[in-house]
């Protein structure tokens, strides 16, 4: 068995174990198997309700949102050939969050619930289109355009918070921006699932093109790979996956930055080899972080996005430290 | 396979980069492309590699228009080695050379791929370095790895833009000999050079570019005349056997 297959297998087992733990963990002492069996047989027991309505949606979303974040981080890093790239860095998450906050602020989401996820998707999608419009070729321009988008969404989010009339609404927005799966429902799963899966499909298909791109755009082109095509795939895939993720889980950062960084020493630096392990690693990280926030440490449940950011920021600093003095 | 350019012209933002260039790179030959800085050598190579579309004229690969060829097919027929390639961060030498097999992903077996990579590594003398990280290599070693990547394509046409600029004399000779061996197998090689002595010694024919136009093309003794050096480079030369040494400026105006 090759080292790559072994690492993928180990990560797969880890994700499975964490997923089972995620179903089992909670204040109500119920049997997971009993609950699942009740649910599948349509028996309306308490165990079936807790598993089906609370824990299963939470586990599925942690797995898929974490997985797509890890995957889009790996794909974006391959595309811009920079280990600092991440959906957050390119402003896609920020614009998704802005879209969601705007419908929340205007009260549209109170009238029609699906408006929230749809707005997050649209925000991420618009950010994507703007990135593509600003980026005719060069990856440096892409990174700069992403930074500009990130700053713009941060400024507009601050403006919105500034203008919110009620302190309660501004507390709600702040809370949501910190990212959480504690209120995940089956409805959320259904809303996010298509985007998460289609986005992942787009991203998983980019491996060879990203490999070719490590030799530079010119050589990739002469080997039969189109930069525009792979840019479209990565950016559309990221918008779908990240937009859907932001819609149901709020702002969860740094998963896409951390996983490729941790896995590169194990599977090598070829982008195609990083995609699947980063997806599995991202899923494992978010499942583990979501288990951690459920631990009764203090009276309040920690926000998931806060935990991933606390894990991710040191890695971010470490990357910047390693890149110091290197020419741009 | 023969690569031909037919009356190529290209103007970008009002600058005439290429003008009416017709030449061919034949199987079994190393065509040296020389000329002063800014003469259009790299631009010509980029057009021949299918990276830049000419305004007028065509590039033909065995009579077929390069720009209407399916990209994957073009990738198998033509290998391009640019002047400067990005540092492949963290990748091993073998990984980088293996990338040269990407155009063959639907046409070659894994066994053929491994053999081609081994052969390319051996050709540039980097087999012992196969598992080293590219980040740990010197400039010259990295240049050889990137050359091995281009060789691993096993394309009938190889276009190399100043492949020996970063190399010491021994490595430069090794690489030029490698091009000759490659050509001797029936492949067509076009290589942009600044070193006139190496061009004269190793190239079957030499094409001289001047201000975007083809000033002369032919064997080194036909092309590298005193008159051409004065006209194109603005220098007077001294000769020492086959070796041509730029000695003094003919007209200071053209350099300054």
Q: Could you give all domains of chain A from N- to C-terminal order, each with its CATH number?
A: 3-323 (1.10.3470.10)
Q: Is residue B119 part of a domain?
A: no
Nearest CA in chain B to A265: B90
**Same domain for B253 and B165:** no
Tell which of B75, B98, B110 to mutate to test the A interface (max A CBs under 10 Å).
B75
Tell which of A137, A218, A229 to mutate to test the B interface (max B CBs under 10 Å).
A218
**Residue of A81, A214, A223 lying closest to B103 (CB–CB):** A223
Model confidence, pTM? 0.87
pLDDT tens digit at each of 328 positions of chain A: 688 999 999 999 999 999 999 988 877 777 778 878 888 888 888 888 888 888 999 999 999 999 999 999 999 888 888 777 788 878 888 999 999 888 888 888 778 877 877 888 889 888 877 877 776 555 677 778 888 999 999 999 989 888 887 888 788 788 778 888 888 888 889 888 988 999 999 999 999 999 999 998 899 999 999 888 998 898 889 888 988 898 888 888 889 888 998 999 899 889 999 999 999 999 999 999 999 988 876 667 788 888 888 888 888 788 778 767 655 4
**Same domain for B166 and B84:** yes
Domain count, chain B: 2
Q: Is residue B75 part of a domain?
A: yes
The H or E element containing residue A119 is helix A115-134
**Same domain for B77 and B18:** yes
Question: Taking CB atoms and an 8 Å limit, are B80 and A208 in contact across chains?
Answer: no
pLDDT at A50: 83
**B156 to chain A nearest CA, in Å?**
14
Cα–Cα distance measured from residue A321 to residue A97, given in angstroms and rounded to the nearest whole number: 29
Cα–Cα distance measured from residue A241 to residue A234, given in angstroms and rounded to the nearest whole number: 10
**Same domain for B179 and B231:** no
pLDDT at A1: 63
Q: Is residue B126 part of a domain?
A: no
The model's pLDDT over B66-91, given as tens digits with 9 standing for 90+, comes to: 999 999 999 999 999 998 777 666 78
Cβ atoms within 10 Å, residue B83: 16
Q: Which long-range contacts (CB under 8 A, 24 or more apart) does A99-103 make?
A: A99/A123, A99/A124, A99/A126, A99/A243, A100/A176, A100/A246, A100/A247, A100/A250, A101/A157, A101/A160, A101/A173, A101/A176, A101/A177, A102/A160
pLDDT at A128: 78
**Residue of A81, A83, A224 lying closest to B74 (CB–CB):** A224
The model's pLDDT over B204-254, given as tens digits with 9 standing for 90+, comes to: 999 999 999 999 999 988 999 999 999 999 999 888 877 788 888 886 555
Q: Is residue B235 part of a domain?
A: yes
**Same domain for B240 and B184:** no
Tell which of A215, A229, A265 to mutate to test the B interface (max B CBs under 10 Å).
A215
Tell which of A214, A264, A273 to mutate to test the B interface (max B CBs under 10 Å).
A214
**B72 to chain A nearest CA, in Å?**
5
The answer to whether ipTM exceeds 0.95 is: no
Tokens standing for residue A291 = 């288990």
Contacts for A25 with CB less than 8 Å, ≥ 6 apart? A55, A291, A294
Question: Taking CB atoms and an 8 Å limit, are A222 and B96 in contact across chains?
Answer: no
Question: Taking CB atoms and an 8 Å limit, are B75 and A222 in contact across chains?
Answer: yes
Q: Which long-range contacts (CB under 8 A, 24 or more apart) does A2-9 make?
A: A3/A266, A3/A267, A4/A267, A4/A273, A4/A277, A7/A263, A7/A266, A7/A267, A7/A277, A8/A276, A8/A277, A8/A280
Q: Is residue B124 part of a domain?
A: no
Q: Which residues of A touch B49 (CB under 8 A)?
A: 218, 222
Question: Taking CB atoms and an 8 Å limit, are A212 and B99 in contact across chains?
Answer: yes
Q: Is residue B46 part of a domain?
A: yes
Q: Which residues of B touch A74 (CB under 8 A)?
A: none
**Same domain for B194 and B230:** no
pLDDT at B9: 94
Question: Taking CB atoms and an 8 Å limit, are A226 and B71 in contact across chains?
Answer: yes
List the end-to-end C-alpha distance of chain A, in Å, as a whole number: 39
**Same domain for B214 and B180:** yes
**Same domain for B245 and B208:** no
**Residues of the domain holding B62:** 3-88+155-223
Average pLDDT value for chain B: 91
Q: Is residue B52 part of a domain?
A: yes
**Residue of A81, A219, A270 lying closest to B95 (CB–CB):** A270
Place of tokens 């030029």: B176
**A58 to chain B nearest CA, in Å?**
37
What is the three-state SS of chain B?
A: CCEEEEEEEEEECCEEEEEEEEEEECCCCEEEEECCCCCCHHHHHHHHCCCCCCCEEEEEECCEEHHHCCHHHHHHHEEEECCCCCCCCCCEHHHHHHHHHHHHCCCCCHHHHHHHHHHHHHHCCCHHHCCCEHHHCCHHHHHHHHHHHHHHCCCCEEEEECCCCCCCHHHHHHHHHHHHHHHHCCCEEEEECCCHHHHHHHCCEEEEEECCEEEEEECHHHHCCHHHHHHHHCEEEEEECCEEEEEEECCHHHHC
**Same domain for B52 and B8:** yes
**Same domain for B231 and B219:** no
The model's pLDDT over B149-188, given as tens digits with 9 standing for 90+, comes to: 999 999 999 999 999 988 899 989 999 999 999 999 999 9
**For A2, which DSSP code?**
-
**Same domain for B200 and B246:** no
**B80 to chain A nearest CA, in Å?**
6
**For A225, which DSSP code?**
-
Structural contact between residues A278 and A262, judged by C-beta atoms closer than 8 angstroms: no
Q: Is residue B59 part of a domain?
A: yes
**Same domain for B243 and B164:** no
């Amino acid at each position: 068995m090759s080292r790559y297959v072994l690492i993928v297998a180990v990560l797969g087992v880890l994700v499975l174990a964490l997923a089972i733990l995620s179903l089992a963990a909670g204040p109500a002492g119920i049997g997971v198997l009993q609950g699942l069996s009740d649910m599948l047989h349509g028996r309306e027991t308490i165990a079936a309700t807790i598993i089906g309505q609370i824990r299963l949606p939470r586990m599925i979303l942690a797995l898929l949102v974490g997985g797509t974040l890890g995957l889009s981080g790996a794909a974006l890093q391959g595309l811009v050939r920079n280990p600092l790239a991440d959906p957050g860095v390119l402003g896609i998450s920020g614009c998704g969050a802005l879209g969601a906050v705007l419908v929340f602020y205007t009260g549209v989401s109170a009238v029609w619930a699906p408006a929230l996820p749809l707005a997050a998707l649209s925000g991420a999608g618009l950010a994507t289109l703007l990135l593509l419009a600003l980026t005719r070729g060069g990856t440096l321009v892409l990174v700069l355009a992403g930074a500009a988008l990130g700053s713009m969404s941060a400024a507009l989010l601050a403006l919105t918070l500034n203008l919110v009339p009620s302190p309660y609404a501004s507390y709600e927005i702040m809370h949501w921006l910190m990212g959480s799966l504690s209120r995940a429902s089956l409805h959320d799963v259904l809303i996010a699932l298509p985007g998460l899966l289609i986005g992942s499909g787009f991203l998983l298909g980019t491996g060879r093109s990203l490999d070719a791109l490590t030799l530079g755009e010119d050589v990739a082109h002469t080997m039969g790979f189109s930069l525009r095509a792979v840019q479209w795939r990565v950016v559309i895939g990221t918008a779908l996956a990240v937009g859907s993720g932001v819609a149901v889980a709020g702002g969860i950062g740094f998963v896409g930055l951390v996983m490729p960084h941790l896995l590169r020493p194990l599977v090598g630096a070829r982008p195609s080899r990083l995609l699947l392990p980063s997806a599995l690693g991202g899923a494992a990280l978010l499942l583990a972080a979501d288990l951690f926030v459920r631990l009764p440490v203090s009276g309040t449940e920690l926000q998931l996005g806060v935990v991933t950011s606390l894990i991710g920021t040191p890695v971010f600093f470490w990357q910047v430290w390693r890149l110091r003095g290197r020419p741009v | 396979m023969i690569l031909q350019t037919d009356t190529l012209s290209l103007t970008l933002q009002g600058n005439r980069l290429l003008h009416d260039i017709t030449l061919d790179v034949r199987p079994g030959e190393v065509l040296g492309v020389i000329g002063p800085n800014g003469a259009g050598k790299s631009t010509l190579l980029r057009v021949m590699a299918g990276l830049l579309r000419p305004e007028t004229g065509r590039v033909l690969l065995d009579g077929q228009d390069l720009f209407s060829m399916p990209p994957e097919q073009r990738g198998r027929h033509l290998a391009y080695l640019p002047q400067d390639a990005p540092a492949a961060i963290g990748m091993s030498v073998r990984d980088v050379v293996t990338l040269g097999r990407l155009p063959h992903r639907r046409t070659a077996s894994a066994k053929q791929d491994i053999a081609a990579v081994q052969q390319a590594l051996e050709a540039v003398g980097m087999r012992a370095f196969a598992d080293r990280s590219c980040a740990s290599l010197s400039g010259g070693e990295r240049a050889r790895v990137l050359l091995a990547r281009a060789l691993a394509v096993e394309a009938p046409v190889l276009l190399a833009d100043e492949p020996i600029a970063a190399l010491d004399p021994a490595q430069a000779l090794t690489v030029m000999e490698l091009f000759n061996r490659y050509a001797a197998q029936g492949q067509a090689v076009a290589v942009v050079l600044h070193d006139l002595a190496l061009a004269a010694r190793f190239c079957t024919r030499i094409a001289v570019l001047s201000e975007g136009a083809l000033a002369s093309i032919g064997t080194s003794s036909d092309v590298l005349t005193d008159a051409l050096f004065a006209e194109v480079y603005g220098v007077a030369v001294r000769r020492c056997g086959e070796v041509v040494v730029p000695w003094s400026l003919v007209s200071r105006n053209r350099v300054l």
